[in-house]
Chain A
Amino acid sequence: MLRFIVRRLLQAIPTLFILSILVFAWLRSLPGGPATALLGDKATPEKIADLNRVLGLDQPIFLQYFKFLGRALTGDFGNSLVSTQPVMGEIVTFLPATIELGVSAMIIAVVVGIPAGYLSARYRGGVVDNGVIVLSLIGVAVPVFFLGYMMQDVLAAPLGLPSQGRQAAGLDATAITNFAILDGIMTSEWDAVWDAIRHLILPAFALATIPLAVITRITRASVLDVLNEDFIRTANSKGLTQPVVRRRHVLRNGLLPVVTTIGLQTGALLGGAVLTERVFNFRGLGFLLAEGIERRDYPRLQALLLFGAVVYVLVNMLVDISYGIIDPRVRVR
């Protein structure tokens, strides 16, 4: 087991290594060269020359790369052009919001998607199944930003939910970790917890649509596969009762591919967060990124793109490892 985990951890290293090379190459190919991109158009030739020295652009390319790597590893991405604050500080400040939103969306997707997919498979061909299939197909076809605007405009007022923001303006809540819900619980500020949850509902559902649709379909397909497998027939013929078969065999084996899907869907979440946070004015990393794109804030883009990719690699590594824990066969492969 331990060997498997170590091996999987080691496997991530070359991926991260190539990733850093790609981001470095990306930085090198920015319009006008990296110094101009990072400094903005206002940069004077002297300032560009200065930064070129700092970035080591007068040195051999592999040295430049190692300088870049060194800065990336120490979290030094320079200052944002928009806010003039260090980019790394911004990421630390805004990350909790995105985690809160992403986790909520994933919980919605799993809690709704797995039962829906399971029921759909169990009553294959029925009304429920067809309904679930149609909805899940439409779910991936709706542009996320449009869905967000519709929710704001149509749902927010009737449901009495806030249509934008992460916290009521002027709400006097103590911030410790910047996780609004966690902070509220830690300080027993229950009104703040409630406020944070209310602000999460609409954006979390908007963000959940694509993972929800995908998880539903994967669950359905994989449960169907399992239902056709020999051991289920064996179990049935052994005379095990239906609920026992379902619990012990169908669900457990059917959920394995779903675990991988959840990992892969983190990517969809990170991308969707850019659109959702932009529409709902939800101040997280996606909000930062959208603002960075609008203002061509390359220091910020560089850091956020690298950060997003690293997070995605790590999440998938964790998923692989947990997969190995659930399913012993994987470890051997």
Chain B
Amino acid sequence: MQQLRLTRTRRVALIGLAGALAVSLSACAESKREEGAGGGSGGTMIFGAAGNPKLFDPAFNDEGETFRITRQIFDTLIQNKPGTADLEPSLAEKWEPSNDGKTWTFTLKSGVKFSDGTPMDATAVCFNFDRWYNMKGAAAQSQMIYYGDVFEGFAKNEGDAGGQPVYKSCEAKDPTTAVLNLNKAKGAFPAAFTLPSFAIQSPAAIKQYNGDTVTQSGDSFTYSEYANKHPVGTGPFKFESWDQAKGEITLVRNDSSPTPAKLDKLIFKVIPDENARKQALKAGDIHGYDYPNPADYGLLRNDGEQVLIRPSFNVLYLGINQSGNPKLKDVRVRQALAYGINREQFVKSKLAEGSEVATEFVPKVISGYTDDVTKYPYDVDKAKQLLQEAGAQNLTLKFYYPTEVSRPYMPNPADTFTAISEDLKKIGITIEAHAEPWNGGYKDDVQKFGKQDLHLLGWTGDYNDAGNFVGTFFGREKKEFGFNNPELFQALAAADASPAGDAHAKAYQEVNKKIMDFLPAVPIAYPTPAIVVGPKVKGLVASPLTDERFNTVTVS
């Protein structure tokens, strides 16, 4: 018991109890503050997270709650300028492609060390690329979603992996020069190097704690000791602990980081219920949380909280599965759906300020957006008429929506479903509601099995590229949309391959026009997700990509 007491860093109460002198009390309080000497003492920030992280090795992750934490522990070669989707140097001071786009040369910052003291040099960078490429095991490969998307294949594909690898080799020319050789050029680069999954991790720590071990039992994956307890990077914070009983992930400042934090400590407190997060913020239990309900903005502001609105980098759409109800193959029926939804009213009544009605599937800030597309303003009569022409007056559609989730592009799925389904009922369509938990079946039913006729989904851009939106949605035949339109697929492939600049934008503008004529889904809105922090928090910059880094934050 005695030992337990001594391991405790804060002994104020204990000493008070022992009747110690007031002098030692203040001395103790002092020592607590000194502990974090070196940087500024920005205090402790507690951030309300909506869910548990999956693990702390971003290579195996694709969801936001985990990335929010790993972004603080790791750095990428290139990063997004805070508050924008523009690129700026991070671990790499410079990056240069060859003319054919197959070779990328990175000039690294010198003297950077991982928090375990090992050097972050070209060898370490190449170790990371090699690690991803050579990853073994179907379980491990299946969890490397972003690697699969961008680099397409592994040295030896296992399980469902089957693409031709884009990666060829990586050479450490000297400690600060890493050269990446690819098998083909890709439009996603260099922006894709900002993806949190491609953060550079400590080779020593990965080796020591068997970072590559991933085992699968049923639907659940078990990760290595490295991924659960010992992630090591160069980011502003170091991982300290994950207390499952309390639901707290604690990070402390990493003084050896090239971008050290001002905060001493950053704690992520898992509070799944949105209302509870709001209550916790009001009570001062936490200093901020993500995706506040738009209904609460006013109240939060009245309480002095800061609601930081992110520029829209999202699109919310109503998916249409043409291999579902056969009537959906008729473009007139799809047009009727578009005319029949009062998107204006939905956006005004249910989405946050600054959100807009979507006219196509890429947000306005992305190059490739064009205002010159076919538009479908709210028109009940026209919708009914189109349905009649198509002989689809008595249409019954299975409409899927997710539960227990709040996405940046869809703060409240049930409300979104209600608004849209009620509109569709008005044009004479019978709606059969299907609610599925987001992680417990929705994504699979909708994207893998295509059980639905209609569904709600959206996308938050990973980087500034139209292909990251429309290419992801409509670039190939998918169960989600259930159509095969080779002309569209080819146009998208051509746009992706077109050289950056005006031609690239032009190509995507043409594609967007095509898409809005074909109408494979109905774009609903460009929502503006917010992040809210308390009055004492300073220095947090809201990012359109939800790429908030807490190194600049202080809590007074």
Physical contact A–B (CB less than 8 Å): yes
**Interface presence of B21 (CB below 8 A):** no
Q: What residue in chain A is nearest B10 (Cβ atoms)?
A: A172
Q: What residue in chain B is nearest A186 (Cβ atoms)?
A: B1
Note all chain B residues with C-beta closer than 8 A to A164.
Answer: 271, 273, 276, 279-280, 283, 285
Q: CA–CA, A178 to B246, complex, Å?
A: 9
User: Does B4 lie within 8 Å of A38, measured CB to CB?
Assistant: no
Q: CA–CA, A170 to B270, complex, Å?
A: 12
State the 4 A-B residue pairs at the shortest beta-carbon distance, nearest first: A40-B219, A296-B440, A39-B218, A84-B220
If A39-B219, A81-B440 touch, whether A283 touches B285 (CB-CB below 8 Å) is no
**Interface presence of B267 (CB below 8 A):** yes
User: Does B276 lie within 8 Å of A280, measured CB to CB?
Assistant: yes
If A188-B5, A291-B272 touch, whether A163 touches B280 (CB-CB below 8 Å) is yes
User: Does A38 lie within 8 Å of B218, measured CB to CB?
Assistant: yes
**Interface presence of A200 (CB below 8 A):** no
Residue from the list A94, A192, A280, A295 in contact with B439, Cβ < 8 A: A295
User: Does A187 lie within 8 Å of B1, measured CB to CB?
Assistant: yes
**How near does chain A come to B546, taking the closest CB pair, in angstroms?**
22
Q: Determine chain A's interface SS by DSSP, over half rule.
A: loop
**Interface presence of A265 (CB below 8 A):** no
**How near does chain B come to A45, taking the closest CB pair, in angstroms?**
13
Looking at the complex, which of A11-19, A149-157, A225-233 is the stretch in contact with chain B? A149-157
Flag B256-274 by CB within 8 Å of A: 1 or 0 each. Answer: 0000000001010101110
Residue from the list B1, B17, B46 in contact with A169, Cβ < 8 A: B46
Q: What residue in chain B is nearest A170 (Cβ atoms)?
A: B267
**Interface presence of A71 (CB below 8 A):** no
If A79-B217, A157-B283, A174-B4 touch, whether A296 touches B445 (CB-CB below 8 Å) is no
Residue from the list B9, B220, B273 in contact with A278, Cβ < 8 A: B273
If A170-B265, A174-B7, A175-B245 touch, whether A156 touches B17 (CB-CB below 8 Å) is no
**How near does chain A come to B429, taking the closest CB pair, in angstroms?**
27
Note all chain A residues with C-beta closer than 8 A to B121.
Answer: none
Residue from the list A38, A168, A281 in contact with B276, Cβ < 8 A: A281
Note all chain A residues with C-beta closer than 8 A to B265.
Answer: 170
- Pick 24 A–B contacts, CB within 8 A, sort by A: A38-B218, A51-B218, A79-B218, A80-B220, A82-B52, A83-B52, A84-B222, A93-B245, A157-B282, A157-B283, A163-B283, A165-B276, A167-B246, A169-B280, A170-B46, A170-B267, A170-B269, A174-B8, A175-B243, A186-B1, A187-B8, A189-B13, A279-B276, A295-B439
**How near does chain A come to B141, taking the closest CB pair, in angstroms?**
14
Q: What residue in chain A is nearest B2 (Cβ atoms)?
A: A187
Note all chain B residues with C-beta closer than 8 A to A78.
Answer: 217-218
**How near does chain B come to A12, taking the closest CB pair, in angstroms?**
30
User: Does A169 lie within 8 Å of B219, measured CB to CB?
Assistant: no
**Interface presence of A130 (CB below 8 A):** no
If A169-B267, A296-B437 touch, whether A40 touches B17 (CB-CB below 8 Å) is no
A-B contact sample (11 more), CB < 8 A, given A156-B283, A192-B13: A39-B219, A79-B218, A81-B218, A82-B52, A164-B285, A168-B285, A172-B8, A174-B7, A191-B12, A281-B273, A297-B440
**How near does chain A come to B445, taking the closest CB pair, in angstroms?**
7
Q: CA–CA, A126 to B13, complex, Å?
A: 49
Note all chain B residues with C-beta closer than 8 A to A84.
Answer: 54, 220-222
User: Does A189 lie within 8 Å of B14, measured CB to CB?
Assistant: yes
Note all chain B residues with C-beta closer than 8 A to A111.
Answer: none
Note all chain B residues with C-beta closer than 8 A to A51.
Answer: 218
Flag B41-65 by CB within 8 Å of A: 1 or 0 each. Answer: 0001010000010100000000000
**How near does chain B come to A47, taking the closest CB pair, in angstroms?**
6
User: Does B220 lie within 8 Å of A169, measured CB to CB?
Assistant: no
Q: CA–CA, A51 to B285, complex, Å?
A: 43
Residue from the list B17, B46, B220, B437 in contact with A188, Cβ < 8 A: B17
Note all chain B residues with C-beta closer than 8 A to A93.
Answer: 244-245
**Interface presence of B444 (CB below 8 A):** yes
**Interface presence of B247 (CB below 8 A):** yes
Interface centre among B4, B279, B445 (most CB of A within 10 A): B279
Q: CA–CA, A83 to B449, complex, Å?
A: 24
Note all chain B residues with C-beta closer than 8 A to A38.
Answer: 218
**How near does chain B come to A118, taking the closest CB pair, in angstroms?**
37
Q: CA–CA, A51 to B216, complex, Å?
A: 12
Residue from the list A43, A85, A167, A188 in contact with B218, Cβ < 8 A: A43
Q: CA–CA, A170 to B47, complex, Å?
A: 10
**Interface presence of A176 (CB below 8 A):** yes
Note all chain B residues with C-beta closer than 8 A to A283.
Answer: 245-247
Q: What residue in chain A is nearest B7 (Cβ atoms)?
A: A174
User: Does A169 lie within 8 Å of B269, measured CB to CB?
Assistant: yes
Q: CA–CA, A81 to B7, complex, Å?
A: 34
**How near does chain B come to A187, taking the closest CB pair, in angstroms?**
6
User: Does A170 lie within 8 Å of B220, measured CB to CB?
Assistant: no
Interface centre among B5, B220, B283, B285 (most CB of A within 10 A): B220
Residue from the list B7, B267, B271, B279 in contact with A156, Cβ < 8 A: B279
Q: What residue in chain B is nearest A90 (Cβ atoms)?
A: B244
Q: CA–CA, A14 to B283, complex, Å?
A: 50
**Interface presence of B404 (CB below 8 A):** yes
User: Does A281 lie within 8 Å of B218, measured CB to CB?
Assistant: no
Q: CA–CA, A296 to B435, complex, Å?
A: 12
Interface residues on A, range: 35 or more
Q: CA–CA, A82 to B221, complex, Å?
A: 10
If A40-B440, A41-B441 touch, whether A162 touches B17 (CB-CB below 8 Å) is no
Interface centre among B246, B280, B404 (most CB of A within 10 A): B246
If A172-B10, A294-B403 touch, whether A41 touches B273 (CB-CB below 8 Å) is no
**Interface presence of B248 (CB below 8 A):** yes
Q: CA–CA, A163 to B219, complex, Å?
A: 35
Q: CA–CA, A291 to B9, complex, Å?
A: 33
User: Does A81 lie within 8 Å of B437, measured CB to CB?
Assistant: no
Note all chain B residues with C-beta closer than 8 A to A157.
Answer: 282-283
**Interface presence of B275 (CB below 8 A):** yes
**How near does chain A come to B69, taking the closest CB pair, in angstroms?**
15
Flag B211-247 by CB within 8 Å of A: 1 or 0 each. Answer: 0000001111110000000000000000000011111
Q: What residue in chain B is nearest A40 (Cβ atoms)?
A: B219
**Interface presence of B516 (CB below 8 A):** no
CB contacts under 8 Å to B, within A217-275, are: none
Q: What residue in chain B is nearest A282 (Cβ atoms)?
A: B276
Note all chain A residues with C-beta closer than 8 A to B244.
Answer: 83, 85, 93
Note all chain B residues with C-beta closer than 8 A to A39.
Answer: 218-219
Note all chain A residues with C-beta closer than 8 A to B271.
Answer: 164-165, 281
Q: What residue in chain B is nearest A80 (Cβ atoms)?
A: B220
Note all chain B residues with C-beta closer than 8 A to A172.
Answer: 8-10
Q: CA–CA, A294 to B245, complex, Å?
A: 20
Q: CA–CA, A280 to B285, complex, Å?
A: 13
**Interface presence of B286 (CB below 8 A):** yes
Flag B437-452 by CB within 8 Å of A: 1 or 0 each. Answer: 1011100110011000
Q: CA–CA, A136 to B285, complex, Å?
A: 34
Residue from the list B4, B243, B280 in contact with A176, Cβ < 8 A: B4
Q: CA–CA, A166 to B276, complex, Å?
A: 12
Note all chain A residues with C-beta closer than 8 A to B54.
Answer: 84
User: Does B7 lie within 8 Å of A295, measured CB to CB?
Assistant: no
Note all chain A residues with C-beta closer than 8 A to B9.
Answer: 172
Q: What residue in chain B is nearest A192 (Cβ atoms)?
A: B13
Note all chain B residues with C-beta closer than 8 A to A81.
Answer: 218-220, 440
Note all chain A residues with C-beta closer than 8 A to B4.
Answer: 174, 176, 187
Q: CA–CA, A42 to B248, complex, Å?
A: 29
User: Does B222 lie within 8 Å of A82, measured CB to CB?
Assistant: no
**Interface presence of A66 (CB below 8 A):** no
Q: CA–CA, A38 to B220, complex, Å?
A: 10
Q: CA–CA, A326 to B4, complex, Å?
A: 42
Q: CA–CA, A190 to B221, complex, Å?
A: 40
Q: What residue in chain A is nearest B54 (Cβ atoms)?
A: A84
Q: CA–CA, A312 to B5, complex, Å?
A: 37
User: Does A170 lie within 8 Å of B248, measured CB to CB?
Assistant: yes
User: Does A166 lie within 8 Å of B1, measured CB to CB?
Assistant: no
